[in-house]
């Protein structure tokens, strides 16, 4: 027997009431935070102090569950397919917005995940070998444009943040350089110091020590605002490339269709947690900065970045490995 309009209205009201009651009682059991990286990775280093703070704020255990594999796809897919009840969450890096342009994924990060908050921001820093006769972004642009395809830039691997942030800069400015990928950030920086490459983007925590000793020269940071770890270094936008903004962020998400009331509660507590002195102190060791956005702001960031990386990857002809 098909339900009548009255029955449908009644069922809808009943379901809404049940959802509201569930949200009011949330959380009533332990929460699992999936980290799609191994212990010690960038997302894990944020997730563990965050979970400790959330345990206190929510009054229930918040447990970190590392599910590495397939470039973070395995753990992220687990959350995308989990029950949308607020008890399975995801702490993931900005690469989640890059992957759709590089691979065929079993999930859509915009459709299948509900943003809660961008937790952190980690700028990249644009550095050159000191033998290169440039001391600003504009001088670098002029130098490279006069020598298209003659300079090498390094990265910590194909389609990593240090690679795509340079591809974005080249896409916006018309520079042409040859990409030399390395297996990790330290090898990337060491190659620049040795003169194998002439320029690269590196994380501040990896490169800044060499900038201070004169082995590298810093030109700019990649974020829209100057970095707390290097306030004297201008942003790329300040240096003349208007609109350039790249951050290697970490964010908190839930499965799509998680009730808005639960998303709101998690947003409030997660933002308190990431702004705590305990979490900030840990972030500072990696030159990372606490952020804390609204779900709507984080949703806009994710949608914008998915579209941006698709454009950059297609224009550069990059293939995921």
Residues 233, 122: Cα–Cα separation, whole Å: 15
What pLDDT, on the 0 to 100 scale, is given for residue 7?
Answer: 59
How many CA atoms, within 13 angstroms, populate the side-chain half-sphere of residue 140? 32
**What is the average pLDDT across 160-167?**
96
Q: Is the pLDDT of residue 26 over 90?
A: yes
Give Dmax (Cα) for the chain: 81
152 in Cβ contact with 200 (< 8 Å): no
Residue 275 vs residues 28, 173, 263, 284, 291: alpha-carbon distances, Å:
25, 36, 18, 12, 8
Do the domains 5-122+247-316 and 124-221 sit in the same CATH topology, yes or no?
yes
> In this predicted structure, what is the pLDDT of residue 11?
54
Instruction: For residue 178, name the pLDDT band (cuts at 50, 70, 90).
Output: very high
Residue identified by tokens 């191994």 is 38
pLDDT above 90: percentage of residues in the chain: 89
The CATH H-level (homologous superfamily) assignment of domain 124-221 is Periplasmic binding protein-like II (3.40.190.10)
- Strands 124-128 and 217-221 turn out to be antiparallel
Highest CATH level, class, for 5-122+247-316 = alpha beta
For position 5, what pLDDT does the model report? Answer: 59
Q: Which residues, at least 6 apart from 56, have a Cβ–Cβ distance to it below 8 Å? A: none
User: How does residue 9 score in pLDDT terms, banded at 50, 70 and 90?
Assistant: low
pLDDT band, very low/low/confident/very high, at 152 (cuts 50, 70, 90): very high
* pLDDT for 260: 98
Check residue 308 and give its pLDDT. Answer: 96
User: Mean pLDDT across the stretch 252-268?
Assistant: 98
User: Are the CB atoms for 203 and 119 separated by under 8 Å?
Assistant: no
321 falls in which pLDDT band (50, 70, 90)? confident
Question: What's the pLDDT band for 106 if we cut at 50, 70, 90?
Answer: very high
Residue ranges per structural domain of the chain? 5-122+247-316, 124-221
Using only the alpha carbons of the chain, give its radius of gyration: 22
Rounded to an integer, the average pLDDT of 177-203 is 96
Tens of pLDDT, residue by residue over 203-236, are 998 999 999 999 999 999 999 999 999 999 999 9
**What stretch of H or E contains 202?**
strand 199-203
Chain segment 28-86, per-residue pLDDT in tens:
999 999 999 999 989 999 999 999 999 999 999 999 999 999 989 999 999 999 999 99
pLDDT exceeds cutoff 70 at 6: no
- DSSP label of 112: H
- Quickly list H helices, 26-160: 42-58, 73-80, 109-112, 137-145
Q: Which of 247, 17, 238 is nearest to 122 (CA)?
A: 247
Q: Does residue 12 have a pLDDT over 60? A: no
Instruction: Let me know: does 169 contact 244? Beta carbons within 8 Å.
Output: yes
């Amino acid at each position: 027997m098909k339900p009548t309009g009255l029955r449908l209205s009644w069922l809808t009201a009943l379901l809404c009431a049940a959802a509201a009651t569930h949200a009011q009682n949330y959380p009533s059991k332990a929460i699992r935070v999936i980290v799609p990286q191994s212990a010690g990775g960038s997302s894990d280093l944020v997730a563990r102090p965050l979970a400790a703070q959330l345990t206190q704020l929510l009054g229930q255990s918040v447990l970190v569950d590392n599910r590495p594999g397939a470039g973070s796809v395995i753990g992220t897919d687990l959350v995308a397919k989990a029950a949308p009840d607020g008890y399975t969450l995801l702490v993931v890096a900005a690469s989640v917005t890059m992957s759709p342009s590089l691979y065929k994924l079993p999930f859509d990060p915009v459709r299948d995940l509900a943003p809660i908050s961008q937790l952190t921001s980690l700028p990249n820093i644009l550095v050159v070998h000191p033998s290169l006769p440039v001391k600003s972004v504009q001088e670098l642009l002029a130098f490279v444009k006069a020598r298209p395809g003659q300079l090498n830039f390094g990265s910590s691997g194909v389609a990593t943040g240090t690679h795509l942030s340079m591809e974005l800069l080249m896409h916006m400015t018309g520079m042409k350089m040859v990409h030399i990928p390395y297996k990790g950030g330290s090898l990337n920086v060491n190659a620049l110091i040795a003169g194998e490459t002439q320029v690269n983007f590196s994380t501040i925590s990896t490169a800044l020590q060499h900038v201070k000793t004169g082995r590298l020269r810093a030109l700019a940071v990649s974020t829209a605002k100057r970095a707390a770890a290097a306030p004297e270094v201008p942003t790329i936008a300040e240096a003349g490339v208007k609109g350039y903004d790249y951050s290697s962020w970490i964010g908190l998400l839930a499965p799509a269709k998680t009730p808005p009331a639960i998303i709101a509660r998690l947003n409030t507590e997660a933002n308190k947690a990431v702004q705590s002195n305990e979490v900030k102190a840990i972030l500072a060791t990696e030159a990372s900065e606490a952020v804390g956005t609204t779900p709507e702001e984080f949703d806009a960031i994710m949608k914008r970045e998915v579209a941006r990386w698709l454009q950059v990857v297609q224009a550069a002809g990059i293939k995921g490995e």
